[in-house]
Amino acid sequence: MTVVRPSCKVTYSKGMARGLPAPAVALWSILIFGIAGVSTAHADRRPVAVIDLSGEPTTVELARQLHTELANHPDLQALADPAISAELYGENPDEDGFKLKDARLAKDDAEAQLARFEFGLAANSAARGQAELHLVAPIGTVTALYAQLAFVLGQAQLGLRRPAEAGEAFALAHRLDPALAPDPARYLPDIIGAFDAAKARYAGTGKLVISGAGRLWIDGKDSGVAPVEVTAEAGPHVVWLTGAERESRAARVVVEAGKTASAAIEDAPASDRVKVRRARTALRNAPDPAARATAMKQLADLVGVRDAVLLSIAGGKVIVQTWNAGTRDHAPGFSALRELGNAKPVELLGPLAPPRAPVKPVDPPFVPIKPLETRRWYQRRSVQASLVVGVLATVVGTILIVRAADDDMVPLDSNLGQAMRSAP
């Protein structure tokens, strides 16, 4: 009786079924080690940062072509995070530009509302503009714009019959921009008088405790690093915390003479994309070679590379430069500048990873192909030979059987034969 055994069941697990044929085991081994080899080879490819310092369409297109080459390069590869790569080419947006624009629009709205005697709306618009400036670093025209908004807010508070709030706003405008002087031909005398009186409204000094981490700016002046306690003049102040690792935040505080005031500013860690964007801007605006080298090192550390290709435009021509951290056979630092010319994108990667010598293909050994058998089965020599062997075996077998039969027969005794013949 034939016993049918159940087929070997292979489950979706880390193990293999027992009794797996040897060829199957070998095939699995090849696949597993082949996949591991591919992963190892991929891990050995060095990431490269493609940095566009111009943001022009020509360099943007070249950066995209380089990313295509890196995708198929045997030794190099693009950054793993495409969102970070996207921050390294194309237009580099000014993270503070939009907020400054909104603050100016808020100031224009507030002034238009004052002209219509809409004092409540004007106060809200001015406060909205100041809130936008709390989110930017207080450099350039930021403090002057904040002072103008404070002056508009003071006028709105006077219209709302809040002289104390108006005096505080005017005093802050004086502190932020001492050169601010309203035109008597444009403003009413009571506004001019309240503004001038605010200069002497506060006297003496007090203590100001700033909690939070970052670069400290008090009224637009660099004041060290927070957290810290400082001596400050009595009156209103604006305190900012900025830094490469955080987003800018600010708070308003009033210091009273002989007392301690506090300003608590929240931590606002910058995202990786913001950090990369800032580092790219610092690299583009570096004033000298030393600052450029420092900015490049900071950017490389942020994106996790030791190789980079920098693209820029000078005199209408694309300029290419590579950077290396000083590994392998490369000296650390920047390469010489070169014009793109007619060079192909893949050639720009040559200083970082020279092209490999082409491997001459080896022809496989020649194996003749046996022609297909077209004769009938009984015409094949193998079949005919088998038939002949079978016939010969039959004949030999028959002879052997006959001889064996003859050997088994016993001859009759001669005397016994005579006796049998003489019997009655």
Extents of the domains making up the chain: 42-79+271-354, 93-201, 202-270
Q: What is the pLDDT of residue 394?
A: 78
Q: What is the pLDDT of residue 369?
A: 73
The backbone torsions φ and ψ at residue 301, rounded to the nearest 5 degrees and listed phi first, read: -65, -35
CB atoms < 10 A from the CB of 343, how many? 13
Q: What is the pLDDT of residue 33?
A: 37
Q: What is the pLDDT of residue 44?
A: 81
Q: What is the pLDDT of residue 266?
A: 92
| 93-201 and 202-270 in the same fold | no
Q: How far is residue 198's CA from residue 170's CA, in Å, rounded to a whole number? A: 6
For residue 227, say if its preceding peptide bond is cis, omega within 30 degrees of 0: yes
CATH annotation of 93-201? 1.25.40
Candidate CATH numbers 3.40.50, 3.30.160, 3.30.70, 3.30.450; the one for domain 42-79+271-354: 3.40.50
Q: What is the pLDDT of residue 232?
A: 97
Candidate CATH numbers 2.60.40, 2.40.100, 3.30.70, 1.50.10; the one for domain 202-270: 2.60.40
Q: What is the pLDDT of residue 355?
A: 75
Instruction: Give the DSSP per-residue string, 379-424.
Output: GSHHHHHHHHHHHHHHHHHHHHHHHHHHHHPPPPPHHHHHHHHH--
Q: How far is residue 296's CA from residue 304's CA, in Å, rounded to a whole number? A: 12
Q: How far is residue 145's CA from residue 108's CA, in Å, rounded to a whole number? A: 11
392-410: pLDDT as tens digits: 777 777 777 777 666 655 4
| Cα–Cα distances in angstroms (integers) from residue 61 to residues 90, 92, 318, in the given order | 9, 15, 11
Residues of the chain under the 50 pLDDT cut = 1-42, 410, 412, 416, 419-420
Q: How far is residue 95's CA from residue 87's CA, in Å, rounded to a whole number? A: 12
Decide: pTM greater than 0.75. Answer: no
Q: Which residue has the tokens 């009938």?
A: 376
- What letter would DSSP give residue 62? H
Long-range pairs, 341-347, Cβ under 8 A, ≥24: 345/62, 345/65, 345/66, 345/68, 345/69, 346/69, 346/73
